[in-house]
Structure 1
């Protein structure tokens, strides 16, 4: 198994270690301590599933070593130990004011810090209808968090795995980062390894259903999506790709490695057909039942393993044996991959035990499948369940069988954001629900909207004839919304792929809780379902049914003190540093970009399958603050047209910068057509100037400038500069341009028109809105004093109060 060896540096510098007969402390960074106790004085230097790196520059610290007490001190912590077996009274750590302002103190073994721990994630959402326990992460309001690594699986240094030594042992890590949550996560990734870069296609729309498709039916379905202009990138084939209920199968049928020829008479051609449509293929695998005599690869595996086939006994699943795992990967799975499989959906659900204590089969499967998927030099990917700290190295995560209820949807945004507290950045959920619940088109629509702004978008359902997630199976309103949001997901891939690269290189998960950036502001902890989606966007999914009278759903939103924010779908400008309820019809959710945001999109309103590099870009820009972004690409993801227009080096990037004081946007771009949409600019600046490679092109007939009142914005369209591979676009808006002051009169009128309520109430509300001679605060007072349900007046107040500059409108 040497070819499965992966890079690690598990042995710490000797000068970072303070040890005695039964204890060992390793100062890994200036705020991260490893603490170990062993009954026999033997300590562990092999990599574990959590800790694969411990060899770091040694930080400064001092040691006070007395006969009955050991102290380790630096600028951030003061550890005290009585040299006995670890206990709450004998091992404690105090922190400087740089860590906490209230003098919190960690004591080994006490559970008091769990109260303020900000959570981690869970192995599965199977059978979870609403909330579940997400355990501990490495972030806490107390400023410290301990991670127990005493029982995790180890790597033996030769490409395989091993259990822990028997006996009484403690192996833990104390994160002492205070409210520097990002600093804690960076140290976590130092020790546990970085998030890998996902292939670009993984960021598009995945189609999945537990259903016994015939191969022709599946291909026809993919073509129907294409005919409707709905892009896909991954075709998931659940367990019915292999024989399940065939008389030859001597077990329950969940495990299988032989194509069901009744459903897939020509699997090789099936694979070619999907690949020709720019789709990647993943097959579901439940390996627990082993390899039985009816499987195509049984004889070949048996020969390799020396297994007696005379009585047709099965080859048992034994992941703790290197030779079995070699046959499992290089024979059993490779034979199927050669036919039609790009990566595996590892659907292990049989617990965490093997015949070797400490070796979790899920951990082992995740590791070897991921490493194996990278052997041909491609970016590896698996689709599997979370196995514990360190699982972020093996994306993508399958969160399990969602129950189709509002309670399930309501928990998933928080669940996804909180997972970043244990470094787990790439969850994929059963969007729309797998089973249970009841038909609710609104629920599925809201679930899809959340899914578009979640790490991985994957529609899924059970084999029920009533639950399949084709958009055209829903009422017309939902159908159109789902289709539009799925198209927008593929339009976002330029943004997502760049954030994907930065998630790995800069240790910035795509989804981050609000308190990561604002740890000292209490409101940041009160909106668990609201999160940063990359550095530019704040997303607040709507996860409750809409009101039947207003036809509006709502979500509580906290706007951080980052000046103003713009809803990218409506153009509404909001002042920051406040809480409010945001109301939206079914076709909208709040997605907010702060001043200085730059968001690259695919300009194609109906992108094709696979999420290839765009042939044209649309870039959303929010003026008001300086901003900068990169658009990173791999030329391997180019279409034939893009290859003609762009440089074909190994790494390609465009750099877009905006300077507020000068009102100038500069884009160093790589070929193709670029369009810049300046959100919430309602007029064309008088002194607008556009240059390409230094030449004034403001009056060039090929450059178009327009505004869009429906979604207020200024659009500047720049065609390719003589098909150059690289060129520079400069757009000057004039000194210190500001977001426009938006009148919401027309939007409010549309809202009221749709209200299912008395005409008299509508008239009263409109008379207040229409009273432009009165100040907004006066109108708000009148609005609130109406003897009507606030559900009817709050959506109006939200718009009137969105931007203090508009108080006179």
Structure 2
């Protein structure tokens, strides 16, 4: 008996686990909790009169100049943990100059010469690729960019109206091998229990951080993460599917929506409710009806009181959603503070000691205001069942009381750390990028991008490049938010092909969230599309859920190392010129190279050219292994995504029974092992939604593998570590995609027999996906696993066979719809489209069946050409078969 169809439908998944070093588990350290250590270890500090140098790492030196010799030990917005292990370095004074040497850098400064300038300060590299000799004021022309606050009203990287290209600012990485962060003007944190912002005392002082790394990009990102704070893990549910639409949904409509997700078998973890959850009276896009409030904002934009005509009983509504195992977030536009029309106004006014009955304007840097806002307005809503906030701030950029303090930056800090202080659950917000240091407060909301192929084509580059400032969790409006103003009325509808391709990118991006503007034509419910589109959408969402263990492990790697889940190719291949030019490609975790389709299909497929870095790569769609160091051009049908996997990699996956990531407990794990090489990796697990992951509450499982044409060996070590709710054991299913029929399967010394049933203690062979699947009974946490599979020495070569099977099936299906329905197809044509089924019926005949298929494929065009079919039908069919041969 075959596995369930949902399991088989996404068996084309070709992903792999993050290749983290399998060493001793990291121990809980003093920085595991979200605390700040502004003062550096004295052993790292060199102070001489009006200058102070702090050697933070071999590649990072802090340089301070203060005319009154008072230096800053308080944590800043960007750098919060200067108390790092002291690296080896030497200090010497010669001829009035101080010399500081680390393993990577050599600094020279002329003592008593005042402010740092090109005349008195130099740093040159030591034994680094891309050597440099730096001085203040030097232009950094090779910067690899960072990220931007928003994609609001951008078509690709071009803003509507102005025509300006998006400025991604400076990132931490440069092809010149160095970068300078000028922290002189950033604000500081005080030492109160809930640390708050304060100004620097000295406006003219210099506080510079020099990062010198050559091509050691990954090392400097790790250095920065240690000093500027780690990239926190979102809760596990955040990696599921988020449904969002700007629409005035009612309680009943949302219940119908959620029930449809269940009815159609589509996973869902997060429900986003846009601003119509509260009263929006007076809000209108028509200037004749729009009103402004006391603060110059549109009336109805800010609100905290439930719209009872849409949600008559909010607490009961939220309880029902939680009963469906959904997390809920509400949209906030807090620009207008709290007005007398809000239900919470009396309590808030009392807390603020306001008695005149007037609206109380927001001041983000006012601790009393923000604390009272949480105490009297937001926390009671959280208590009703709101899990986290979508903070949609897009008003004035800076604080009114602290000019220069970004409201976006500060609100990220305030909302995130308040949740950390108030909740047992893992902190999560959903807001815009505010600048360096904001990587500590995920998740990003990129804003209202324009629906277009250009926008889709730009977002992979935009998202991957953000990792250069550790902002690794962008959430986009998948499918685009709005039409451009110049879009003709008859074109203001969703292009199903564009939407599928955008969803495919979303599945291979940090956060998968669909959203759209309040326009009736923008309906993105999967069940509203034609069958082939619905199938592609459901398949890609299923794929996302199956990849969750791989993604979650990569998220832990980002926390530990500073290397984001999604990043550019030049991290791993800094010496390859093409790695810097591959804007449409990125690494998704350590083992997946993704190049999303971002142009329409022609004749049923889109052609994509992908540069493969050095090494060997497995094509998830074709099933063959390719040598890297070349560009390959291949075609992709609507349900295919250009993804290449490191040859030999092992991927941890969910079984397809997991439809809620809240339910994912890693008690059942699928390990897919790919052909062509070795793997050394590990699987990360924790409780999923607590801050305990910062304190050592987690586990790793080491995985090693090797697979070639003759054998596959997979070893899973005992689980190391503990966390609350950890399952006592794990049931592993080992899958070998694009494998010939095994000759023998041995699990922990026991020989397994083949069975057509998907049951533990046996192995089976799936003809449609050419996958050998071994189901192992549950093992205790401390019990290792070793699986050894051997193939016949003369086994049939099936590289690329799955691609040919699928394309032949599609060609024959097309032919049937253009054939004389009263006449049967030639026998060999019908049989050529059913190789997978024939293998399922007689797997032991695999070599004979493959040989017969290849023979039939070679003569398919001739078979049809001899028929009575229309000349144009013959020609089109022949073209489809010829394309398979070229592939």
With structure 1 as the length reference, what TM-score do the two structures score?
0.85
Gaps of 5+ in 1: 639-648, 760-768, 774-791, 803-809
Separation in 2, partners of 1:468, 1:89: 62
Aligned with 2:361 (options 316, 333, 338): 316
Deviation at 1:230, TM superposition (A): 0.5
Q: Find the aligned partners of 1:165 and 1:319 in 2 and give their Cα distance.
A: 21
335-344 vs 671-680, which deviates more? 671-680
* Distance in 2 between residues matched to 1:797 and 1:615, nearest whole Å: 46
The 8 Å contact of residues 206 and 235 in structure 1, kept in 2 or not, is answered as yes
Which residue of the partner structure matches residue 469 of structure 1?
524
Q: Which residue of 2 aligns with 1:180?
A: 216
Deviations along 1:270-300, whole A, 9 cap, x unmatched? 1101101110011111111111111122111
1:497 is the counterpart of 2:549: no
Are 2:426 and 2:689, in contact at CA under 8 Å, matched by a contact in 1? no
CA change 1:519–1:423 in 2 (3 A) is same
What is the DSSP-based 3-state SS (H/G/I as helix, E as strand, rest coil) of the residue aligned with 1:733? strand
Cα distance, 1:220–1:344 mapped onto 2, change above 3 Å: same
Could you tell me whether the CA contact under 8 Å between 2:745 and 2:752 is conserved in 1?
A: no
The match for 2:175 is 141
Deviation at 1:351, TM superposition (A): 3.5
1:787 maps to what in 2?
A: none
C-alpha displacement of 1:170:
2.7
Q: Determine the structure 1 residue equivalent to 2:648.
A: 596
Contact 1:529 1:541 in 2 (8 A): yes
Shift, 1:796, TM fit: 9.4
The match for 2:729 is 671
Cα offsets for 1:451-484 (capped at 9, x unmatched): 0000010011111011132112333322221121
- Please say if residues 670 and 735 of structure 2, whose CA atoms lie closer than 8 Å, have aligned partners that are also in contact: yes
Is 2:557 aligned against 1:557? Answer: no
Give the number of equivalent residue pairs: 746
Aligned pair in 2 of structure 1 residues 67, 561: CA closer, same or farther (>3 Å)? Answer: closer
The residue number in structure 2 matching 1:522 is 577
Residues 612 and 637 of structure 1 are in contact (CA less than 8 Å); yes or no, is this contact kept in structure 2?
A: no
For the 8 Å contact 2:568–2:586, the answer to whether it is kept is yes
Match of 1:330 among 362, 375, 383: 375
Q: Please point out which of 187, 190, 193 is paired with 1:153.
A: 187
Pair 1:285-2:332 in alignment: yes
CA contact (8 A) 1:660 1:736 kept: no
Q: Which has the higher contact order (CA 8 A, sep 6+)?
A: 2
Q: How many Å apart are 1:707 and its aligned residue?
A: 3.1
* Contact map agreement 1:582 1:798 (CA 8 A) in 2: no
Q: Which of 515, 526, 529 is the matching residue for 1:460?
A: 515
Residues 114-160 of structure 1: CA deviation (Å, up to 9, x unaligned): x2111111111112211222111111111111122222222112121
Aligned to 1:99: 128
* Contact preservation (8 Å) 2:734, 2:774: yes
Candidates 406, 411, 428, aligned match of 2:458: 411
Alpha carbons 1:571, 1:712 under 8 Å: kept: no
In the alignment, what sits opposite 1:781?
none
Match of 1:84 in 2: 114
Q: 1:198 aligns to what? A: 234
Root-mean-square deviation (CA, aligned residues, Å) is 3.2
Partner in structure 1 of residue 77 of structure 2:
49
Helix, strand or coil at the partner of 1:554: strand
1:731 aligns with 2:787: yes
CA 772–255 in structure 1, closer or farther in 2 if over 3 Å, else same? closer
Change in 2 beyond 3 A, CA 1:501/1:20: same
> TM-score normalized by structure 2?
0.78
Deviation, 1:660, is 5.0
Q: Which of 261, 272, 277 in structure 2 is aligned with 1:225?
A: 261
Map 1:243-392; keep pairs closer than 5 Å.
Answer: 243-245=279-281, 252-308=299-355, 311-354=356-399, 355-374=401-420, 375-392=422-439
1:61 partnered with 2:89? yes
In 2 relative to 1, CA 795–675 (structure 1 residues): closer, same or farther, beyond 3 Å? Answer: farther
Verify the 8 A CA contact 1:119 1:139 in the aligned structure 2.
yes
Q: 1:68 to 1:226 in 2, by over 3 A?
A: same
- Cα distance in 1 for partners of 2:435, 2:146 equals 10
SS in 1 for 2:552: helix
State the distance in 2 between where 1:286 and 1:57 align.
Answer: 42
Q: Take 1:388 and 1:636, find their aligned partners in 2: how far apart are those partners?
A: 28
Query: How many angstroms apart in 2 are the aligned matches of 1:750 and 1:698?
Result: 31
Post-superposition shift, 1:107? Answer: 2.6
The CA deviation string for residues 682-726 of structure 1, in whole angstroms up to 9 with x for no partner, is: 222x233233xx5444478853433334433322223446xx566
Q: Are 2:247 and 2:276, in contact at CA under 8 Å, matched by a contact in 1? A: yes
Classify the secondary structure of the residue corresponding to 1:687: strand
Structure 2: stretches of 5+ with no match in the other structure: 1-32, 158-165, 284-290, 485-491, 691-695, 719-727, 819-853, 859-876
Q: SS in structure 1 opposite 2:373?
A: helix
> Does the Cα contact within 8 Å between 1:147 and 1:174 map onto a contact in 2?
yes
Q: Out of 29-38 and 165-174, give the one that drifted further.
A: 165-174
